[in-house]
Structure 1
Amino acid sequence: MKKLVIFTGFFFLLFISCQEKEKEREEPVATNQSNYEVASEKYSDLSDEALDRMSTLDFDAWGELLAEDVEYYFPDGDANTRTILKGKDEVVNWWKSWKNNTGIDSMEFTERVHVPIQANTRLNYSGLTGVIVISYFSNRMVYNGQPADVRTNVAVHYTEDSLIDRFYTYYDRTPILKVVNANVLDIVVKKDSVQAVD
């Protein structure tokens, strides 16, 4: 009888111990703060507004949404080799020159998806924290009557004042190169250089 009581007690303790271990596995450990969380929907609306203004080809109106120290990144290289425009004046003037020199007739953004994220730790590459909106959409550009359809991904970072200070673009430039028959980045740079000499 004594052996039975000891065995039963030992079995009971073992059972309770296993239950406690199982409970620890099921309950996630609480942390102070996640690296990322969903940001306010207002940033999706701001990103939509930026696309609306850009699609009108009114780059002064689009520029009203940019911070003075904005940086615009093109998809023509890797992290250290891609073309970067720095400062609101340079960014807006580049796009005005693009409009004047490439034969663009229209630009339309459809099938838009915006995902607003609050980065609580520094992001790789940019080193920034705060709100970034990851967007993807279809961009139909018509150059001299010829369409170029490009599926596009962008990541836009916002300042505390809700202005865009980083604009990272990712897309296949091949459809544009075929329609324009040249690298659009080269066209704008070369024509601007010629005009500066004149």
Structure 2
Amino acid sequence: MKKLFLVALCIPFFIGCKKEAPAEPVAETPAAETTEQPAEFADAKYTELGKKAIAAMTAGDMDGWTANFSDNAKYYWNGGDSLVGKPAIDKYWRDRRANVIESIAFSNDIWLPVKVNKPQRNESNGVWLLGWYDVTASYKKGKEMSQSMHILYHFDENDKIDQVYHYVDRVPIMAAMPK
């Protein structure tokens, strides 16, 4: 009777310890295909190009400022004015820096290099450098002007600027110009 009692007592123990059948192997699912995003961060070297450009403009180094422009660059302002070609851009800014602007300084600059893979509207594919900064300019025989500006640089396949969109408020500029 004792043996039967021990067997009855051990049966639940052995049932509870019974090895379960191994689970069916889970088929590995292939990694999700990476989808190209419409835009992504670009190399920080473009930020350095933007910083060098405003440093050159501050110093009056127009050769340094235009060094990264492509020959067929286009420069647009938010008011609709534009310049086409590196020679026209160089002539405009060289004249303005030599004959109109006494001094110019940039501060509080923020740069964001972005690579556009899939344009969403009318922007071009490739690398864009978005810049925001405060500008203080003194005009010859005029006054001082301060404002925040926004600029967009687009780089071609040779890392040369081929498009510029410059957003400025002309009212403080005109108020500071000599009458």
TM class by smaller structure? 0.7 to 0.9
Gaps of 5+ in 2: 1-31
The equivalent position to 2:83 in structure 1, one of 70, 74, 85, is 85
Gaps of 5+ in 1: 1-28, 77-81, 183-198
Structure 1 37/107 Cα, relative in aligned 2: closer, same or farther at 3 Å?
same
Match of 1:138 in 2: 134
Please tell me whether the aligned partners of residues 123 and 129 of structure 1 are also in contact (alpha carbons under 8 angstroms): no
> Percent identity, aligned pairs only?
25
Residues 48-102 of structure 1, C-alpha deviation per residue, up to 9 Å, x if partnerless? 11111122222222111111111111121xxxxx111011001001112223442
Residue 46 of structure 1 aligns to a residue whose secondary structure is helix
Match of 2:59 in 1: 56
Match of 2:38 in 1: 35
Please tell me whether the aligned partners of residues 139 and 178 of structure 2 are also in contact (alpha carbons under 8 angstroms): no
Aligned residue identity for 1:55:
T
Say yes or no: does 1:172 pair with 2:169.
Answer: yes
Q: Distance in 1 between matches of 2:34 and 2:178?
A: 54
Aligned residue identity for 1:84:
S
Instruction: Give, in angstroms, the shift of residue 159 of structure 1.
Output: 1.5
Match of 2:21 in 1: none
Aligned residue identity for 1:87:
G
Q: Distance in 1 between matches of 2:60 and 2:133?
A: 17
Moved >4 Å (runs of 4+) = none
Superposed counterparts of 1:63-102, under 5 Å: 63-76=66-79, 82-102=80-100
Residue 154 of structure 1 aligns to a residue whose secondary structure is strand
Instruction: Give, in angstroms, the shift of residue 123 of structure 1.
Output: 5.5
Q: Distance in 1 between matches of 2:46 and 2:97?
A: 27
Aligned residue identity for 2:39:
Y
Aligned residue identity for 2:94:
K
Please tell me whether the aligned partners of residues 131 and 152 of structure 2 are also in contact (alpha carbons under 8 angstroms): yes
Structure 1 123/98 Cα, relative in aligned 2: closer, same or farther at 3 Å?
farther
Residues 117-154 of structure 1, C-alpha deviation per residue, up to 9 Å, x if partnerless? 0100135334x111101110001101136210020001
Structure 1 119/108 Cα, relative in aligned 2: closer, same or farther at 3 Å?
same
The equivalent position to 1:153 in structure 2, one of 134, 150, 153, is 150
Aligned residues: 147
Rg: which structure is higher? 2
Say yes or no: does 1:107 pair with 2:104.
Answer: yes
Normalising by structure 2, we get a TM-score of 0.76
Aligned residue identity for 1:92:
D
Normalising by structure 1, we get a TM-score of 0.69
